[in-house]
Amino acid sequence: MDTPSQESSLPLDDVMLAMDVVDTLRHRQDLVTRELDGAKRETQLIDKLRKIYHDQGIEVPDHILKEGVNALDESRFVYTPRAGGLSVALARVYVSRGRWGRWVFGALVAAVLMAGAYFLAYQPYQAAQAEAQRIELTQTLPARMDQLYERIYEETKVQVAVVRAGDLRDRGKAAVAAKDRAGAEKAAAGLEALLAQLQRSYTLKVVNREGVRSGFWTFPDVNTEAANYYVVVEAIDDGTDKPLTLPIANEESGATERVAIWGIRVSEQVYRAVEADKLDNGIIDHNIMGVKQYGFLDIDYVVPVMGGTVTRW
């Protein structure tokens, strides 16, 4: 069975006095240091302490002074911090919460807002976008291709347009089955371009106005011994009597550009005839090169042409 310690058996007033003695010794290290090596250390310390308290008008019994000296040696009444550990670390974190609490709270609020925005706004938006794209690919684009094919079939006057439209539609449907959105859109764009080509009606005329050349000739890179002759033309819409901008393939670069005027390759004989017509009075009287009728794909030329075209010269 444990026995009560000596200090717990002392009256409270004596314990308080002993604590004060220890505190005095701790703050008067000059007393302790000078007496550490003396043989009569305890007696000398008690005498010193008695005098200190006597000078303050306090009479402290010798047994209290002795108890204070012993308590100093035993490190009683001295707080020794606990060794580091998880509980100590947690306690320190809790005590310092005033410094980091606001930042952590702000970070938590930001994280909650970001999570809410992601799950409540961004994800539903992405899902809606994906569903819209799925509907467009599997329903809208196939229906659009079918409608374009039907219009081409009804408005064309040449079988070749129906064959081209059928081929484009089949390729588009295959792209839809393969979930190839780009391929399906390309096929639909091809059908639209084919329909637009059928619906155009215009007259192809030689350009005859100030500041614009009516013709030119060049030496091709593949054969510098022979010249290529071109007549510069434009398509005048039959309904509005205004020039059209059309997709024209450049035989020199292989690129297709939308232009309002372009050069069409002709024989030297045709080129010289146009040249003589313009030199006669400054006006090209015979300026019609061909006619493009509604429902047809190609131009009906009224003069012989070589077939090549250029967009830059």
Give the C-alpha separation, 163 to 161, whole Å. 5
Alpha carbon separation from 262 to 6, 203, 309 (Å, rounded): 118, 14, 7
**Amino acid of residue 7:** E
Report yes or no: 233 and 207 within 8 Å, Cβ to Cβ: yes
Give the C-alpha separation, 229 to 219, whole Å. 9
Q: Which segment of 65-69, 111-115, 175-179, 201-205 scores lowest on mean pLDDT?
A: 65-69
Cα-atom radius of gyration of the chain, to the nearest Å?
A: 53
pLDDT, residue 82, reads 61
Whether the per-residue pLDDT at 301 is higher than 90: the answer is: yes
Give the C-alpha separation, 137 to 173, whole Å. 10
For residue range 66-100, list pLDDT tens digits in order. 776 776 666 555 556 666 677 767 777 777 777 77
For residue range 241-292, list pLDDT tens digits in order. 999 999 999 998 899 999 999 999 999 999 999 999 999 888 999 999 999 9
pTM above 0.95, yes or no: no
For residue range 6-34, list pLDDT tens digits in order. 444 445 466 666 667 666 666 665 555 44
Q: Which helix (H) or strand (E) holds 25?
A: helix 12-27
**Amino acid of residue 212:** V
**Would you state the structure tokens that stand for residue 115, as one six-digit string?**
């999570």
Looking at the chain, the whole-number percentage of residues with pLDDT higher than 90 is 50
Q: Whose structure tokens read 């131009």?
A: 299
Residue 235 has φ and ψ, to the nearest 5°, of -100, 120
pLDDT, residue 221, reads 72
pLDDT, residue 65, reads 72
Nearest to 69 by CA among 24, 12, 136: 24
Residues in the chain: 313
pLDDT, residue 117, reads 82
pLDDT, residue 122, reads 81
Residue 25 burial (CB count, 10 A): 21
Indicate the average pLDDT of the chain: 83
pLDDT band at 113 (very low <50, low <70, confident <90, very high): confident
Alpha carbon separation from 113 to 79, 100, 102, 126 (Å, rounded): 47, 20, 16, 18
Whether the per-residue pLDDT at 39 is higher than 60: the answer is: no
pLDDT, residue 51, reads 74
Q: Which helix (H) or strand (E) holds 228?
A: strand 228-237
**Three-state secondary structure call for residue 163:** helix
pLDDT, residue 72, reads 64
284 contact partners, CB below 8 Å, separation of at least 6: 206, 208, 214, 274, 277, 278
For residue range 128-162, list pLDDT tens digits in order. 888 888 888 889 999 999 999 999 999 999 999 99
Nearest to 46 by CA among 72, 28, 30, 68: 68
Q: What is the separation, in whole angstroms, between the first and last Cα of the chain?
A: 117
Give the C-alpha separation, 214 to 203, whole Å. 16
Nearest to 194 by CA among 152, 250, 163: 152
Q: Which helix (H) or strand (E) holds 272?
A: helix 268-281
Nearest to 19 by CA among 80, 69, 84, 54: 69
Looking at the chain, the whole-number percentage of residues with pLDDT higher than 70 is 80
Q: What is the mean pLDDT of residues 97-119?
A: 82
pLDDT, residue 120, reads 83
pLDDT, residue 27, reads 62
pLDDT, residue 2, reads 46
pLDDT, residue 79, reads 57
Q: Whose structure tokens read 């205004």?
A: 242
Give the C-alpha separation, 211 to 131, whole Å. 55
